[in-house]
Amino acid sequence: MRWTLKTATIVLPLLTLPLACGDDGTGSTGGSTGASTGSTGDDADPTTDSGPTTMDSVSGSSSTTNDSADSGSTTDPGSTSSSSSSSTTEGIDMGLSFFVTSVGSGDAGGNLGGLEGADAACQALAEAVGEGARTWHAYLSTSTVDARDRIGSGPWYNAAGEMIAADVASLHADGLSNGDPQHALDENGQEVPGNEHDILTGSQEDGTLLDGSTCDDWTSSSGGGQARVGHSDIPMNPMFSPSWNSAHDTPGCGPGHLQQVGGAGRLYCFAID
């Protein structure tokens, strides 16, 4: 919640009195959808399409925040200004510091443009919901850095204001909200579809690099490589791993390879500050 302190000055014949006016806005609380995604596990239907939007269409964009301006008119002290309230609740302003991307990599498959491109995708989606003031990183390991070492220190909260993890140690010991899949929300507060629950990580369960499973450090969309993915939900089939960050490898790095096993090239994004 952000509070804005405004001062008004009343000029009298002999003295000037500063009067403090508090913004009476109340932050909105986004609710978790709480609905089961009906995960299909690793044999998800590869034909399901989440929509035409991909990371390429958002990574280069920037959002404009339209804050309400003070018109200068006098407001009855007993009333609440609707424009003032809307400025504190516009978008998602609840300390959002973790989300799953609402869009995937599309035709790029495992070629995210390296860590720089993946981070830019997280940043653009965060900006779209009013959280661009923070620095966002994708949870990805490469040959030069482990995912756990590039996401800040926590704590992290989802779009519903629920704590995902208190720190790096608990994140990797207990998983996302102790394994509750309804907390792995995208930046808009929506759950990830079950047939897209594979999230790119390139990591082992402790958040360190799984060598050979990063699509050539996230620069390849060929069929020769592979990517390690985690599950954003707990698969209904007990044969499939419930690990949020290291469930299995994909059969290749092309978009079809990701879709074949239940993915769309989505990412976990963390605010590092």
Give mean pLDDT, residues 79-88: 32
Q: Which of 20-24, 124-128, 144-148, 256-260 bottoms out in mean pLDDT, i.e. has the lowest?
A: 20-24
- DSSP type of residue 190: P
Residue 150 pLDDT level (bands cut at 50, 70, 90)? very high
- Quick one: which of 97, 111, 95, 107 has its CA closest to 28? 95
Give mean pLDDT, residues 144-155: 98
Q: What angle do CA 56, 132, 103 make, to 5 degrees?
A: 30
- The owner of tokens 């929506």 is 190
- 215 HSE (CA, 13 A, CB side): 32
The model carries a pTM of 0.69
**pLDDT given at position 176:** 85
Tokens representing residue 226 in the block: 């592979």
Query: Torsion angle, CA of 122/125/129/131, rounded to 10 degrees?
Result: 30
Question: CB pairs under 8 A, 24+ apart, for 212-215?
Answer: 213/249, 214/140, 214/141, 214/142, 214/143, 215/109, 215/110, 215/111, 215/112, 215/253
CATH superfamily of domain region 96-273 = Mannose-Binding Protein A, subunit A (3.10.100.10)
**pLDDT given at position 256:** 96
